[in-house]
């Protein structure tokens, strides 16, 4: 019986959970509640029923991706801690979670907003500022997470 946490799996689980949480936040808050954008709203504007249906479909696919990331993170977390009597290294776990969330936001923003241009954070006036703010938020979250991990190396060997 394993009495220790498995640090590699534990940190990987936190990264995946952070990515899943960031994806769900984006999809639920920005797509559904605020309705600032949908997955392909810059190339298929919401001006016809067909385009609304298409955007809703791709929003759903995005949520499936978020669910897969979250499920993978939960499975890894369970495997890393199933028989452990060792307390969870919260600072490292939080750091890895923030690295995952920030990396997801940064990469998603870079690819979907800037490279592909399939949607923007908030289309219209100041669109670029909103997109840059989103990229900045992702970078800051990832940096804070990395700093937490770096400062907690005594607890978890990375």
Q: Mean pLDDT of residues grouped by 10 in the chain (158 residues)? A: 71 98 98 97 97 98 99 96 83 97 98 98 97 98 97 62
Q: Distance (Å, rounded) from C-alpha 145 to C-alpha 37? A: 28
How many residues are there in the chain?
158
| pLDDT at position 82 | 87
Q: Residue ranges of the domains in the chain? A: 7-151
CB atoms within 10 A of CB 11: 24
CB atoms within 10 A of CB 136: 13
| pLDDT at position 79 | 92
Chain mean position to CA 35: 19
| pLDDT at position 94 | 97
| pLDDT at position 4 | 65
Q: Distance (Å, rounded) from C-alpha 70 to C-alpha 74? A: 6
pTM: 0.91
| pLDDT at position 6 | 77
Q: Distance (Å, rounded) from C-alpha 145 to C-alpha 93? A: 9
CA-closest candidate to residue 36, choices 105, 112, 124, 114: 124
């Amino acid at each position: 019986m394993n009495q220790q946490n498995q640090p590699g799996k534990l940190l990987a689980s936190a990264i995946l959970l952070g990515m899943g949480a960031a994806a769900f936040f984006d999809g639920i808050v920005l797509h559904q509640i605020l309705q600032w954008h949908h997955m392909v709203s810059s190339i298929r504007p919401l001006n016809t029923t067909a385009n609304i249906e298409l955007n809703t479909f791709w929003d759903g696919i995005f949520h499936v991706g978020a669910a897969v990331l979250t499920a993978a993170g939960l499975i890894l977390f369970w495997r890393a801690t199933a028989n452990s009597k060792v307390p969870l290294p919260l600072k490292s776990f939080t750091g890895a979670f923030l690295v995952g969330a920030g990396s997801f936001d940064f990469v998603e923003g870079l690819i979907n907003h800037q490279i592909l241009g399939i949607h923007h954070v908030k289309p219209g006036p100041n669109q670029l500022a909103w997109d840059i703010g989103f990229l900045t938020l992702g970078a800051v979250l990832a940096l804070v997470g990395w700093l937490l991990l770096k400062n907690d190396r005594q607890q978890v060997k990375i």
